[in-house]
Amino acid sequence: MLVDTGWRPDPPPEPDPAPRRRPEVPWRALAWTALVVALFVAGLLTAGWPSVGLVYAALLVSFWRGSRMLTPHAGTMRDYSQ
């Protein structure tokens, strides 16, 4: 039986250098933050019940968007798979 002892496996290919990534800026988070700040400022500048409504709206928006940013898939069936 002949055995070829000169065979060598091909060397593994060189890995591609990692591409340079640009820093990702969370534009949506900045927009929602600006909206919440604007609602709070408007609530401070107005008087009476409209002020209460504006501050309440700012709190609701901040809790709503904050919960979506911190836990994007908590309690939803959007990405459910068996």
Per-domain residue ranges of the chain = 27-70
Q: Which of 5-14, 16-25, 31-40 has the highest mean pLDDT?
A: 31-40
Q: Nearest Cα to 66, choosing from 24, 13, 29?
A: 29
pLDDT digits (tens, 9 = 90+) for 48-80: 999 999 999 999 998 888 777 776 555 556 655
pLDDT digits (tens, 9 = 90+) for 38-52: 999 999 999 999 999
**Residue 1 tokens, joined:** 């039986």
C-alpha 82/C-alpha 68 separation (Å) is 24
The reported pTM is 0.55
C-alpha 44/C-alpha 65 separation (Å) is 22
